């Protein structure tokens, strides 16, 4: 587990990325270059991300970062078990309803369209899905865990921590892909990392430098207009 201390805070330079730009630039990248990321950089991002809020300051996150030989060993274990295990939890509710069903369907269609895989080519789609197990070629794989006895509020806190990680990565010129895919490998991940028995695998994340030549990285997921999900009341 990487640890570190944050750098001294410095005043932002004129050309430094602001938060709005980082939010706009963050996308889920599914094809990375193999260029390594320094451990010091990864540790700094993880430590800074811990400024995320958490109810009662519980700080429920437990984080593991893999690179180099440990990452290669882990990926080999996953490749030997392509069908996964009993999931840690259901990533999506069964029988999704609207508008969630359409949003998920459209996102899948948009994703596979970037790499020319038609809906009827199920083997090709499964091969693309399996690239999650390789962290899409990223040189760093992150895992986010928390105590099983914690509840949905702490899951939300962990999500805010992960968002901080992703935005801080963008600030450093890095990219990420959050992966609930790893809920399918709870035993493999727990055994490899040596996590406490009372901790669950919540999600993983690929971290590295995007390959700008790969068409799949051109995907920017659609967002519904504000009018469909938001309201402003009492404003002039």
Contacts 24+ apart (CB under 8 A), 38-45: 39/2, 39/65, 39/67, 40/4, 41/172, 41/174, 42/2, 42/67, 42/140, 42/207, 43/2, 43/3, 43/4, 44/4, 44/6, 44/7, 45/165, 45/168, 45/169, 45/172, 45/174
Residue 90 domain boundaries: 19-222
Residue 45 inside a domain? The answer is yes
Residue 38 inside a domain? The answer is yes
Phi, psi of 94, deg, nearest 5: -65, 150
pLDDT for 24 beyond 60: yes
The arithmetic mean of pLDDT across residues 87-109, rounded, is: 95
Distance (Å, whole) CA 209 – CA 139:
8
pLDDT for 197 beyond 80: yes
Residue 2 inside a domain? The answer is no
Q: How many CB atoms lie within 10 A of CB 8?
A: 5
CB 177 within 8 A of CB 138: yes
CB 53 within 8 A of CB 160: yes
Residue 62 inside a domain? The answer is yes
Q: How many CB atoms lie within 10 A of CB 193?
A: 18
Residue 69 inside a domain? The answer is yes
Residue 12 inside a domain? The answer is no
Residues 44-87 have pLDDT tens digits of 999 999 999 999 999 999 999 999 999 999 999 999 998 999 99
Question: Residue 5 has what pLDDT?
Answer: 47
Residue 122 inside a domain? The answer is yes
Tell me the pLDDT of the chain averaged across its residues: 93
pLDDT for 13 beyond 60: no
Domain total of the chain: 1
CATH of the domain at 112: 3.40.109.10
pLDDT for 14 beyond 60: no
Residue 4 inside a domain? The answer is no
- Reported pTM: 0.91
Residues 204-235 have pLDDT tens digits of 999 999 999 999 999 999 999 999 999 999 99
Phi, psi of 200, deg, nearest 5: -110, 155
Question: Residue 17 has what pLDDT?
Answer: 87
Question: Residue 6 has what pLDDT?
Answer: 47
């Amino acid at each position: 587990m990487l640890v570190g201390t944050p750098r001294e805070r410095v005043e932002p330079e004129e050309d430094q990325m602001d938060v709005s730009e980082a939010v706009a630039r963050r996308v889920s990248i599914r094809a990375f270059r193999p260029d390594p990321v320094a451990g010091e950089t990864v540790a700094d991002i993880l430590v800074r991300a811990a400024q995320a809020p958490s109810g009662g300051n519980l700080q429920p996150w437990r984080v593991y970062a893999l690179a180099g030989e440990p990452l290669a060993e882990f990926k080999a274990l996953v490749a030997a078990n392509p069908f996964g295990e009993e999931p840690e939890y259901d990533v999506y509710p069964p029988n999704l309803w609207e508008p969630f069903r359409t949003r998920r369907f459209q996102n899948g269609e948009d994703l596979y369209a970037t790499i020319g895989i038609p809906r009827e080519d199920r083997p090709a789609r499964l091969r693309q899905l399996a690239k999650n197990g390789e962290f899409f070629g990223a040189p760093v794989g992150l895992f986010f865990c928390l105590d099983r006895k914690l509840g949905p509020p702490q899951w939300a806190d962990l999500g805010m921590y992960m968002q901080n990680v992703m935005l801080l990565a963008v600030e450093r010129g890095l990219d990420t892909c959050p992966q609930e895919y790893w809920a399918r490998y709870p035993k493999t991940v727990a055994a490899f990392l040596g996590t406490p028995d009372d901790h669950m695998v919540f999600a993983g994340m690929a971290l590295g430098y995007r390959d700008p030549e790969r068409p799949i990285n051109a995907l920017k997921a659609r967002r519904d207009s504000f009018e469909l999900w938001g309201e402003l009341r009492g404003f002039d």
